[in-house]
Structures are given as C-alpha cells and as structure tokens.
Amino acid sequence: MNSNTTNRSEGTAEELGGKIKKGLGKLIGDDQMEAEGTAKELKGKAQKETAKAAERSEGSLQEIGGAIKNRIGKVIDNEQMAAEGKVKELEGQARQKANQPG
C-alpha cells in the first residue's frame, strides 16, 4: 500500500472513531466527549481528503507522462511506445476520477 492509501485508510478509521465517540457522548449527555468526537471526525475527514488530493496530483502527473509518451511513440512510429503511453494516460485519468473530493 502506498502512503496515500495508508493515510486515506487511517483518515477513514479516525473519522469513524470520531463518529462513534460523538454518538456515545450525545447518548450519555457528555458534551465534552461529543465535542472530542466531532473534532476527531473532522480530523479524519481532513486526513482522508488530503490523501485523495495527493492521489489526484499523482494521477495528473501519470496522465501527462503517458500522454507525452503516447505522442512521442506516434511521432517516431513506435506502436508499442504509443500504446504504453496511452495505458499510463488512462491509468492516470482513472486514478484522478477514483479520488474525487467528497
């Protein structure tokens, strides 16, 4: 797993833990516990969104690199290079799409 995936997973876990703590605090009438849960939930969301933004950036670079390789392959009439570039370009696009905000 790369660090962005790890950070995203940790953020999801932090967010879930915060929701649980917030709900428990609300259930037992403990305002401090509820506030701590809310803070933990928001921290997890921020961590998750930061990891997704990093993945989108890496996907964009992958897409650009693939597009360049694709074009060079076409110019020098190297079908394998062009195909490999197109694959990288599409992988980069998919990586960006899979990590949209929200």
**Along the 102 residues of the chain, how does pLDDT read in single tens digits?**
678 889 999 999 999 999 999 999 999 999 999 999 999 999 999 999 999 999 999 999 999 999 999 999 999 999 999 999 999 999 999 999 999 998
| Residue 23, CA distances (Å) to 12, 47, 51 in order | 16, 21, 26
**What angle (nearest 5°) sits at the alpha carbon of residue 16, between those of residues 15 and 21?**
100
- 99/8 Cα distance (integer angstroms): 10
What's the whole-model pTM score?
0.76
Task: For 6, list phi and psi in degrees, rounded to 5.
Answer: -65, -45
**Greatest Cα-to-Cα distance within the chain, rounded to the nearest angstrom:** 71
